[in-house]
Chains A and B, each alone.
Chain A
């Protein structure tokens, strides 16, 4: 056994986790409104959406890619969902449709990257525009609002006090954690991100797995769209704007390297929670939304700086 190497990853995760705890302690000291059950549940509910998008982003980034289109795919899936629900399609079918739309967009990304040999940045930049445009066209630029309560339970429901979005996100994280650590698919993601050529020469079906990875990212965007639509009781073609950046931020704060080949799902969760807690805390402290952006940017840069200097110490 190798305690040293075994724990490098988890030690770093512990660092990020300590950062989250420290942030919570500071907010606890700064405002009495932070550490209340209702506020914490609120944070979980708000974080769920970004956290789900970050799952797909983590897969993509571990495999050495990037996906800029997750926010737009979220909007398109949401509009597909909203339109279907309004047309009277049963809820499970409408959700399946939304997930299919997200998956399809992601797979197109994957095919462009693998068979089209486009850099992921370019392929998903194109998809970002296409999906956003398609969402606006389908919705004719207007939100689709007002769904029945059965569907809205996906956001308003509570199980043992926990909000439904947090539970959904929790389930997704459990599955993703398992997939990344215990399946052929997860192994392939790490190997492709670590050294694509070596993976290919070892007989790993690189193109197949890469395509599927972008498919997963699209699917996660669609899942987030379902939660968001239920939560807002409205599907908006402008939803998810800038979500790609939040997801990337959560992923890298969680210790995943943009160079690929390393990273964890739980890191992404902690990263998303840090972002969520920070936003919530700044709101409670009445910090202007303009200044909030500054603070969040500083936190992203600071977290990655710390992570990189920790890595350098290992050299």
Chain B
């Protein structure tokens, strides 16, 4: 083999899960020193392919070559020894240990057997971190660090492992713009040293900013690989979805109706004197920086957090919301950002999750009406085009978009008409987002009102009829669709005078 031998080759990789062919002849080829973007809809097989690469999952068939040599990726340790490190969305650091201890977890330098060489550990940690362009105290406890800093510790740990291939799964999903720039700086330093980075993200602009080449997977198959310079966003989206997503944010008629929800002087935790109105037939975008109190507002109205002060008027009546059950009775639907932790019982079937919001209505004297339960779920699967094998499938096996649809189905079946979406499309790929947007439009056309919290500014601007900008627990500005420009929202979010 010559010097054009790729660092990593995965060929003909197949993996079957019960009932699902997760990977079917998937392939990936990564060169040393490049950032290789791996794209695909949720469920396209990206995660499975990366789990195989990191040794977490065994492949059914196919070959993996490192520098042209066939390798066996038996288990995560073996993969790590081969120089393959993975940084998952959920970081895997030990929060109570220090930065240095985390970086050298399991391979700490020792003076005598069993006795740690602390000075050397600190020195090495500082050296690795500064090599990434980061200054962090090696003695700081990881739990005291910001998420972006923790991520840097993970990168440093991969470096201490002498990683040659670094897999990053949605590394920027909770980072600010400045932190993203810093992360990209670190990635560039890595690739300059010949480390290959496999970069998974749904954010197209990032892929174009940092990536050199791209591979697209669809339905577990390899679709295309090419230089990023040669492709455009619409091309990539088409490859991922195999269809045109012509309109990023679908339009609809604006028909604002009567008042549905009125919040007056709401106080809860960090929230101060929040007041606004939500009408039928509108999407009210809630913008603001992370920590501005948007989720707190959603949780207070949904009964998840305690309300200290203020009044909530729903359909003209003052309602006391003391628990999520109260909110559900008031037909308020809460679709939390963290669907897996808060939106769904992953181990239960689709139909069981759908029923969860209105068990009372589905039962007589406590006995469930299983036929209605089944019918509702089947209806929802058809209506919302949920891709599942049927109402009895466990939701853990569904893709992010389909899981979000199940959460939505749960509230539709409960006849909710006030919908609070917290980051409705986080972790959902571009093509599937479109589906979610269409569903949101359908809801408001049918007379519902939607509060949509989102950190994705184009999404807020593209979908909202009005935008509420929050800052430090209070409403900073209320902008009409016409007033809501990227600059105006950002200015308000940052507390700058316009």
Contact = CB atoms under 8 A, between A and B. Distances in A.
A and B form one complex: yes
A175 to B, nearest CB: 12
A199 B345 contact: yes
A200 B347 contact: no
A190 interface: yes
Contact of A203 (B19, B324, B368): B324
A202 B410 contact: yes
Contact of B342 (A2, A8, A186, A201): A201
A314 B397 CA distance: 11
Contacts of A195: 341-342, 344-347
A206 B389 CA distance: 30
Given A203-B324, A203-B329, A187 B368 contact: yes
Interface in A124-161: none
Which secondary structure dominates chain A's binding surface?
helix
Interface in A280-315: 314-315
A8 B348 CA distance: 13
A205 B325 contact: yes
Given A183-B363, A190-B348, A199 B356 contact: yes
Interface string A170-202: 000000000000111111101100110111111
A197 B334 CA distance: 13
Given A183-B366, A184-B363, A203-B324, A2 B356 contact: no
A261 B325 contact: no
Contacts of A187: 352, 355-356, 359, 368
Interface string B49-86: 00000000100000000000000000000000000000
A194 B368 contact: no
A4 interface: yes
Interface string B322-354: 011101110000101000011111111100100
Contacts of B5: none
Given A187-B368, A191-B356, A201-B336, A262 B342 contact: no
B304 interface: yes
A5 B356 CA distance: 20
Interface residues of A, number: 30
Given A5-B19, A201-B304, A204-B325, A191 B348 contact: yes
B356 A261 contact: no
B359 A261 contact: no
Contacts of A6: 392
A182 B394 CA distance: 18
Contacts of B414: 203
A187 B354 CA distance: 12
Contacts of B389: 2, 4-5
A201 B368 contact: no
Contacts of B346: 194-195
Interface in A1-23: 1-2, 4-6, 8
Nearest to B369: A182
A189 to B, nearest CB: 11
B402 to A, nearest CB: 15
Nearest to A262: B347
Contact of A202 (B328, B349, B390): B328
A182 B368 contact: yes
Contacts of B358: 203
Given A201-B336, A201-B343, A204-B359, A5 B348 contact: no
25 contacts: A4-B19, A4-B389, A5-B18, A5-B389, A6-B392, A183-B368, A184-B366, A186-B368, A190-B348, A191-B345, A194-B345, A194-B346, A194-B347, A195-B342, A195-B344, A197-B342, A198-B344, A201-B302, A202-B324, A202-B410, A203-B328, A203-B329, A203-B358, A204-B359, A262-B347
Interface of B: 17-19, 57, 302, 304, 323-325, 327-329, 334, 336, 341-349, 352, 355-360, 362-363, 366-368, 370, 389-390, 392-394, 410, 414
